Amino acid sequence: MGKATLVVWFSILVLVGISSNRTVKAGPINYKDALAKSILFFQGQRSGSLSAASQQIHWRTSSGLYDGRLAHVDLTGGYYDAGDNVKFNFPMAFTTTMLSWNTLEYGKRMGPQLPNARAAIRWATDYLLKCARATPGRLYVGVGDPNADHKCWERPEDMDTVRSVYSVSPSNPGSDVAGETAAALAAASMVFRKVDPHYSKLLLSTAKKVMQFAIQYRGSYSDSLGSAVCPFYCSYSGYKDELLWGATWLLTATNDVTYFNFIKSLGASDSPDIFSWDNKYAGAYVLLSRRALLNKDNKFMTFKQQAEQFICRILPNSPTSSTQYTQGGLMYKLPASNLQYVTAISSVISTYSKYIAVTKQTFNCGNLVVSSRSLRNFVKRQVDYILGVNPLKMSYMVGYGPNYPKRIHHRGSSLPSLSRHPQSFGCEGGFQPFFYSANPNPNILIGAVVGGPNQNDGYPDDRSDYSHAEPATYINAAIVGPLAYFAGSSKF
């Protein structure tokens, strides 16, 4: 049977399977369970040397143990961004920033998951520190040739594609990836400030140096690195938002007025209706608005207004909304991996909800009065949809609930583990019979949130449909906050 025929047959089979699942009832939402699983997911994305004692996702073992060797540096560790075997630092650093922010905001609500959240952050920051400190004047920003990798379907443990090393420097700048790396290190420094002061100081001092590099040598890493990062993680929004984001986090971590003056000099007045690994404006506005709301610092009132204008572009009943919703109530931004925008936007809105709850404030979107409660309810609807309150009664978090994606676009999950199949598959060895198969993945990547349903609330559960079936670290990092918010709250 040819590949095309097989895929058509497979899609029909899966769609029939989904139709039969429409009667499945979504049980009550267990936010604590979902939170634990959302953090556990990161263990499935780990690169580097994995210890059996600390690894709960047992079908994953050590990989990428020679990363950095081509540049004569140690770049082992970090995370694979999604279902592939490449380490892209731009989304990895954003993942780290969001995990850190959510841990700072909701750590007290995480209960026993707080140490696990810190461990997930540290797995990334240990790697980012290597990238920033290995060679003076150079920031390493990725390992693995993405064009070669995407022609293969093999386990991370079997990788035989070239592990090219990519970096930015004064002559090949990357203010976007450097600004995001600085943000990640600065945010994480606050997470570890009390529990590991020495590590926290190392993170912060490195963040300052990386931020200085981002400011001094202006330019986009997309221009410097070309096909090594585009079209995979091009910096489509430019680098000004990362300069703002990095400076915002360093201001938050240091209270150094130099960063505030730099933020003012950027004149950031963009009016986004999205928040993602590429576009950071909305996140910076919300974080800066904290000072206007909680510290009553009028110098930050502009950012409060910009944060509220952003939220008004999101809410469905707002007269200035520019956001579409599916019939089932899911925020719908873009066809490719839409849930990344749902989780990221839900995260910043839940945090803003928290800020205005503390100060007992409301704001207006035209004639619509917006309260902390209305924002909390909005976020809850989005999170509940992801966890199964939707037309298909399907949880888009793998391993949560009775009905979830079984054929995710993920190499390690879709191929038999080393313990079951010790022989290497080779670069193309995983396509037949595993990629082009209607069988569920043999390994369950617990906690993985996939790209999600289409604009009609449909989901074919098709492994080859990466824009809907692929999980990613930045989808999960963002949902950790809202899940902790609801897991630690007795009232919604």
- Cα distance between residue 342 and residue 361, in whole Å: 25
Q: Cα separation of 406 and 16, whole Å?
A: 14
Give dist(CA 469, CA 207) in Å, integer.
Answer: 34
Tokens of 477: 């990092």
Q: Which two tokens stand for residue 223?
A: 């221009």
Strand, coil or helix: what is 255?
A: coil
Close Cβ partners of 418 (under 8 Å, ≥ 6 residues apart): 59, 61, 155, 157
DSSP-derived secondary structure letter, 134: S
Compute the distance between CA of residue 482 and CA of residue 113 in angstroms, rounded to an integer. Answer: 14
What the block records as the tokens of 30 is: 């267990």
**Residue 243 is which amino acid?**
L
Rounded Cα gap, residues 134 and 127, in angstroms: 10
The number of C-alpha atoms within 13 Å of 128 and in the hemisphere containing its C-beta is 38
Q: Which two three-digit tokens encode residue 10? A: 């497979």
Task: Provide the annotated active-site residues.
Answer: 409, 461, 470
Q: Which amino acid is at 482?
A: P
CA neighbours within 13 Å on the CB side: how many for 397? 31
Alpha carbon distance 166, 221 (integer Å): 10
> What DSSP element (H or E) covers 146?
helix 146-149
C-alpha Rg value of the chain to the nearest Å: 22
Rama region for 426: left / alpha / beta (φ>0; ψ in -120 to 50; rest): left
